[in-house]
């Protein structure tokens, strides 16, 4: 591991961004006020789905994360406010088509797929926000080493962060022993 580095850490679903100057000197630069698990399960409940986080994760893994289009992320901000996407979610909920002509089991399946697509899109946007904030903090303090420590080992986050950093010609480090 190289020092100094900026680390996006997700522990118990709560994202934070840290500056690590050396092995023992870690400074938290920003922490989300809400965990990803709460954001996703509460959003699922707002759409009528009674899913716990494990069910949400299972359904998201098979869903379309490009289903919703969100406003651009304001790059030069330190906020990790995950509630900022609520307007887009509320619009999607308001525009849901019930497929009233379909039989009940087909309607339920279509609704569950729609809910999963909305949640996958939300999570992808949250990941874009987390990557943008991590890059912002790294650029503000002049640190080129960026790490990801994610105790849920989410491959979508890792892929998103790798793609975004690669486009900026930055490398992502994922420590194996964390």
107 alpha carbon, distance to own chain's centre: 28
- Give the pLDDT confidence score for residue 48 in this predicted structure: 92
Interatomic CA distance for residues 140 and 164, integer angstroms? 17
Q: What is the pLDDT of residues 75-98, one digit of tens each?
A: 667 778 887 888 888 888 888 877
Q: pLDDT tens, 135-144?
A: 999 999 888 8
- Mean pLDDT over the full length of the chain: 89
* H-helix or E-strand spanning residue 10: strand 5-11
pTM, to two decimals? 0.89
pLDDT, mean of residues 138-159: 89
Give me the pLDDT at residue 99, please. Answer: 76
Indicate whether 100 pLDDT > 80: no
By mean pLDDT, which of 25-29, 37-41, 47-51, 92-96 is the weakest?
92-96
3-state DSSP of 103-150: CHHHHHHHHHHHHHHHHHHHHHHHHHHHHHHHHHHHHHHCCCCEEEEE
Among 3.30.420.40, 3.30.360.10, 3.40.350.10, 3.40.1400.10, what is the CATH number of 5-173? 3.30.420.40
């Amino acid at each position: 591991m190289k020092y100094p580095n900026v680390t996006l850490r997700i522990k118990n679903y709560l994202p934070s961004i840290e500056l690590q100057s050396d092995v023992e000197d870690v400074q938290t630069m920003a922490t989300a006020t809400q965990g990803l698990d709460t954001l996703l399960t509460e959003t699922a409940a707002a759409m009528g789905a009674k899913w716990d986080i494990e069910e949400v994760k299972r359904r998201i893994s098979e869903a379309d994360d490009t289903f919703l289009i969100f406003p651009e992320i304001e790059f030069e901000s330190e906020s990790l406010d995950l509630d900022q996407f609520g307007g887009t979610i509320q619009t999607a909920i308001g525009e849901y088509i019930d497929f009233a002509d379909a039989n009940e089991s087909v309607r339920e399946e279509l609704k569950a797929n729609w809910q999963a697509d909305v949640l996958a899109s939300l999570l992808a946007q949250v990941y874009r926000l987390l990557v943008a904030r991590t890059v912002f903090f790294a650029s503000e303090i002049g640190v080129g080493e960026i790490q990801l420590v994610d105790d849920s080992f989410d491959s979508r986050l890792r892929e998103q962060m790798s793609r975004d950093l690669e486009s900026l010609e930055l490398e992502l480090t994922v420590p194996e022993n964390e």
